[in-house]
Structure 1
Amino acid sequence: MVHCEQLTTPVDVVVSRMRALDAALPPRDGVAVFNRVYLMVTEAVDRCVDAGRFADPHAAITLDVRFAERYLAAVEAAEEGRPPACWRPLFQFRRHPGVRPLQFALAGINAHIGHDLALAVVDACRTLGCEPVELEDEFDRVGELLVSLEETIREELMPGPDLLQIADPLTHLLGSWSLERARDATWSAARALWALRRLPDLAEEFTERLDTAVGFAGRMLLTPLPR
């Protein structure tokens, strides 16, 4: 079991910040769409911790909070006009009338899982003084929760029965991205970043390339579609 230091930013603080964003943003805003989804996920993780579903709740909370902080930092950076590359498409297209709510949600999930989660694992390992393998159970449990919620997210944000038609552009777009594959790739990226922690130049280059690649995928997910 991993033993952690006292957290300075508990889950309830990041949840409060996401709720404040939800209250401040217009409902149709693309960032607001993702924020509602992520708020639901974070609250679900919090309930799982309270229910004892994590073998090491302190480690789970640490990972969850470090993860959320990455998203909230991206929001702050966007307000100053310099969001990370992985988040840039969502902030650029957040008000585009040709982008559907489900696309906004998946683009946010892509940025957060594909880039932020790998860095959050490294952040948590440094906070806890542990190796990534010691967080694998918490990582997998959070991933399983995200996958279980993905179906709910898609059902809630689907535009209607036309989605069932194979010719619908959104059907094609959704088939090009997988949360499970993204999660698997993120675990590999986190392990690589941890291995590179004593080679800061290579670690920085790896992080920049990951940021750019995830941003490219996000831009594809936000392709404006005909109604």
Structure 2
Amino acid sequence: MVPLEFLGADTDRAHALGTVVRRMRALGAGWPERDGVAVFNRVYLAVTEEVGRRLDAGHFADPRAAVTLDVRFAERYLGAVEAVARERRPPACWRPLFQLRGHPGVRPLQFALAGVNAHIGHDLALAVVDACRTLGCEPADLEDEFDRVGEVLVALEERIREDLMPGPDLLQVADPLTHLLGAWSLERARDGAWGAARALWALRELPDLAGEFVERLDDGVGLVGRCLLTPLGAGPYGVAPGR
């Protein structure tokens, strides 16, 4: 875990975020380009780099809180990667992506959004609680930082779809991928994560109930991820997945 408890200086914050970026770059360099987890990793790396640029530009009113939230958030994904590398089971929300990462019938956009679903639907709520414990604050104190990080995610979602959606716009309506992805919304997932974070914080003195809540959240997000990764085969022009 990146030590953030006593961060205050700009150089310390830059180092903490830079450590996360370097870890994600190293992971990406070691995976095949079309590996499903690698597809998500590239998307998430772009998000983290954009957060760094916005921090440098003074976009966040409380840079320490923003970095703490962003790094604690990233640690959830990196922890899932490490668990798989050590042949341990990752959280249920991540299992579909790791299990199907090499499936030839799953398209790159599905891999990207399945990773986003796991990370937003499950990890973000836990990261808010982690950040509150680190900073000694309440979720309400992080709402501005939560919203500004969310703005980056929403802005990048459209680019993800444009970069990875195959085929001309006029014919995408005939592609089952269009129908599958129309059922999922980053905006709704982000709203759900904020509600889950507040609920978890309210349950912090009731560890049994909090643990059950997290387990159910994990399972539910994993089920959505499994649906997002339904193998669809070739696109509307018979283009092989990933091309």
TM-score by length of 2: 0.90
Gaps in structure 1 of 5+ consecutive residues = none
- Give yes or no for the alignment of 1:11 onto 2:17: yes
- Residue 190 of structure 2 aligns with an amino acid whose one-letter code is R
Taking a change above 3 Å as real, the CA distance of residues 212 and 163 of structure 1, as seen in their structure-2 partners, is farther
Which residues of 2 match residues 163-182 of structure 1 at below 5 A? 164-182=171-189
Structure 1 distance, partners of 2:172, 2:59, is 39
Q: Percent identity?
A: 77
Structure 1 segments (4+ residues) deviating >6 Å: none
The RMSD of aligned alpha carbons is: 1.4
Q: CA deviation at 1:163?
A: 7.5
Q: CA deviation at 1:78?
A: 1.4
User: Match of 1:219, SS?
Assistant: helix
Gaps in structure 2 of 5+ consecutive residues = 235-243
Moved more, 145-154 or 76-85: 76-85
- Tell me, yes or no, if the aligned pair for 2:104 and 2:233 is still in contact at 8 Å: no
Q: CA deviation at 1:165?
A: 3.2
Structure 2 distance, partners of 1:163, 1:106, is 22
Structure 2 distance, partners of 1:37, 1:135, is 24
Structure 2 distance, partners of 1:120, 1:207, is 12
Structure 1 distance, partners of 2:122, 2:223, is 12
User: Match of 2:76, SS?
Assistant: helix
- Tell me, yes or no, if the aligned pair for 1:86 and 1:212 is still in contact at 8 Å: yes
2:157 pairs with one of 150, 155, 171: 150
Structure 2 distance, partners of 1:23, 1:142, is 26
- Tell me, yes or no, if the aligned pair for 2:36 and 2:111 is still in contact at 8 Å: yes
Q: CA deviation at 1:226?
A: 2.8
Structure 2 distance, partners of 1:163, 1:154, is 15
- Tell me, yes or no, if the aligned pair for 2:129 and 2:197 is still in contact at 8 Å: yes
Structure 1 distance, partners of 2:73, 2:199, is 18
- Tell me, yes or no, if the aligned pair for 2:77 and 2:119 is still in contact at 8 Å: yes
Number of equivalenced pairs = 224
